[in-house]
Chains A and B, each alone.
Chain A
């Protein structure tokens, strides 16, 4: 079960936003196959530190696939080779002794690189601010069971709500589109009766904010769905398009 492997990392190093950046080759030795990908990077960083070099900056926090902090391209794939898995949940047993891994940050105009593998994803927060909520002040909510929600709708809403905001969909998309992220939030709230009153305004505002942040358009490559660690379906994008068209043509919202 537990064995160790040796790897070669070709890893992106970039000092700051203005630095051009470059690949650096460094070994990852005696890596237990039970380690997570991030634990492998920890081991490399411990070595770099003791060698008097700067460790690789990478974002991480919960290390159980829910906070959405982590994520890099591994051999050209967002979050690495395993489907439905964020980088922190990817274990080294999925790699072979002697493998070379190319590790890069998310690449997108709307996600500028800050340092090494760390990017600026604040665009996502700006999109949510534009309308990713139900306007209900604390204290003004009705009794929870006054509004029944058919379980199949609640389940679909939950499927969409599972988005962790990691940015893999943008990184995987040839157009760096954020449609999967935006559609997940719009779908969750459009499916639930609580979200309906603001659905038109929300769809228009969030799509506008997405455009303003510099994300590209969706041209149905489906790479986002494939890269998503929570396997959010592109059916949500279809729903976003319906919501957006409805809002644009039929509603009074502008």
Chain B
């Protein structure tokens, strides 16, 4: 099968306009006849649900939480990018496009990224109109701040709670449609399988998390807006419910999985401090606007940070990257922190941390100004660690945060299964091998508010649909498989808990498929994952029943999928014999320890096709062609 990205012809800046013109439309009166299933209610799912319902489609929306407002987009802190150029500092759609492609280490599609930059401004307009309380200047106009990977200010923000405010905006727009009867909400549902009929995605099977009932839902198209898979590492900044199940089950039903090894390790997180720890907490990248990252110059220096004189500190990001300084992209900042710790210069009890110091900023701008910008983050840091960052520098260390990989989609956001669309973090499309800060919110909302409403009509109008009901064999088959897995999980009655297995899987992935990778380590990880998976199915203990709220059972199903998916990540990492962005194979680095790409052989999207249980997947390659930017070694010096 040849992957056709369906990128429109013509000059980059005209592709989206041209595509929208050439795409078939669905007559307003006919839209209500089409039923769209939206899985997930984060930024992508909520904005898509609202926008499609406004157009007149019949929308059914599913979420795993008790309320759609709790989707994990809510935890995004720093901001959302747009090319408004309000600060008059030289921004443009082209520059946002260029920074994003370069930030992704030239492993994203030009056309998709350009479209993202094009619609970025309309997102800000939309959210502002919804009543999102963005930060404002004294004159009442919108304020901007800087983020990593850019030398200008294009990030809009609502304190350190931008994701929360944008999500509540999208959620409220969706609730307005729910009140109007155009969105039918199904909370506390977990999608457990995709139903494909005659080669088209025509429904889902979902578990009602309260009653355990397996429900069948049919529609004309399915939108997966189910986020990323960072929790494969157990410890990540993702919320506990984040999982790969929906996308992985779709992969097993024929959707190709693209670039699964592209994982973002975020440089500024609160370091790990105990084996009981259940998750990691991000400290927004915006802190790097004013915080200075440093370690002691001498390895093993155990003095308190305030006792280490200026001359004996190494502000390593400022030293190595004078033009971007502390605002280098995330992958670069993370790798450098690791490098310092590997040299024995790490600080704190574990030696796995570097300082993020606000002393200079507080002296320069005053405590009040810093508190206004970052107050809630400082407070959160103090709650977790018991240290006051106004008086002593924060300690930070990289942690898994976001996954650039995801289901492969074409320019219309459709996967390799006709009728299955994938939006937001769940797809692979816009961030290449590394996502820049404040771009995830932009992409989720771009996909939901502006891209899918334009592209889904083309599919619906151009497709013949047979009548499909939930009584069809495809639904029965999917339900049977789901019920069988549940029965199996509950019947093992072994000696290890789900979390115990998950933690071990996570450690293996972190050690061998994390911030830096080697071929030997990856091979080893593959073997360990296989053993662990076999042991899981032999010795896991899942208490309770299938017929009520059973959180252990929910977790067990998700971990079972992570156990398989982890191997796919490792395979992908092994197949990509280069370093790029967040994928750093130690064998491929420049003399200055930066990622060394191999554009000759790996300038492609790796898309994996499921071929059956226990069989190796097939690798398909979508070549990436760059007609508008020049492939260069990324430099932030």
Please say whether chains A and B are actual partners in one complex: yes
Decide yes or no whether B589 CB sits under 8 A from chain A. Answer: no
Closest to B158 in A: A158
Q: Is B126 part of the contact surface with A, judged by Cβ < 8 Å? A: yes
B179 at the A/B interface (Cβ < 8 Å)?
yes
How far is it, in angstroms, between the C-alpha of A146 and the C-alpha of B167 when the chains are bound? Answer: 23
Given contacts A32-B276, A161-B133, contact A121 B67 (CB under 8 A): yes
Prevailing SS type, chain A contact patch: loop
Q: Tell me the minimal C-beta distance from B299 to chain A in angstroms.
A: 23
**Chain B residues within 8 Å of A155, by CB:** 133
Could you tell me the distance in whole angstroms from the C-beta of A124 to the nearest C-beta in chain B?
7
Q: A69 — which chain B residues lie within 8 A by C-beta?
A: 65-66, 70
Q: How far is the CA of A133 from the CA of B173 in the complex (A)?
A: 6
- Known A-B contacts A149-B136, A157-B133, A158-B133; the reply to A129 vs B386 at CB < 8 A is no
**Does A251 interact with chain B (Cβ within 8 Å)?**
no
Q: Give residues 113-165 of A contacting B (CB, 8 Å).
A: 114-115, 118, 120-122, 124-125, 128-130, 132-145, 147-151, 154-155, 157-158, 161-162, 164-165
Asked, given contacts A55-B543, A138-B47, whether A67 binds B75 with beta carbons under 8 Å apart, the answer is yes
Contacts of B50 in A (CB 8 A): 138
Q: Give Cα distance in the complex from A194 to B129, angstroms.
A: 6
Given A61-B72, A114-B549, A138-B50, A188 and B129 touching (CB < 8 A)? no
Q: Name the residue of chain A whose CB is nearest to the CB of B187.
A: A122
Contact with A along B441-469 (1 / 0, CB 8 A): 00000000110010000000000000000
**B50, B136, B173, B187 pick with most chain A CB within 10 angstroms:** B136
Q: Are B129 and A158 in contact (CB under 8 A)?
A: no
- The contact of A194 among B128, B179, B277, by CB within 8 Å, is B128
A63 in contact with B278 (CB, 8 Å): yes
Residue of A nearest to B278 (CB): A39
Please state if B380 and A115 are interface contacts (CB–CB under 8 Å).
no
A122 touching B66 in the complex, CB below 8 Å, given contacts A129-B178, A141-B122: yes
Given A64-B380, A118-B549, A158-B159, A141 and B178 contact (CB-CB distance below 8 Å) = no
Q: Is the CB of A115 within 8 A of B548?
A: yes
**Chain B 98-142 per-residue mask, 1 if CB under 8 angstroms from chain A, else 0:** 000000000000000000000000101110111101111111111
Q: Is A219 positioned at the interface, with any CB of B under 8 Å from its CB?
A: no
A162 / chain B contacts, CB cutoff of 8 Å: 161, 164
A136 contacts B129, C-beta separation under 8 Å: yes
Is A100 part of the binding interface, using a Cβ–Cβ cutoff of 8 Å? no
Distance A224 CA – B544 CA, assembled complex (angstroms): 36
CA A36 to CA B385, docked complex, whole Å: 10
A162 to B165, CA, bound (A): 8
Distance in angstroms from B549 CB to nearest chain A CB is 5
Contact of B164 among A66, A91, A115, A138 (CB under 8 A): A66
Kindly provide the distance from the CB of A36 to the nearest chain B CB, expressed in whole angstroms: 7
Residues of A within 8 A of B175 (CB): 125, 128-129, 132-133
Known contacts A36-B278, A42-B499, A138-B450: A133-B552 contact under CB 8 Å = no
Task: Provide a sorted-by-A list of 6 A–B residue pairs whose CB atoms are within 8 angstroms.
Answer: A1-B386, A42-B276, A49-B552, A134-B130, A141-B128, A165-B67
CA distance A54 to B131 in the complex (A): 44
State whether A54 touches B543 (Cβ < 8 A).
yes
> Known contacts A39-B277, A66-B74, A194-B129; can you find 16 more A-B pairs with CB under 8 A?
A32-B276, A35-B274, A36-B384, A46-B499, A46-B500, A49-B543, A55-B551, A61-B70, A89-B384, A93-B386, A115-B549, A121-B67, A132-B172, A134-B131, A138-B51, A194-B131
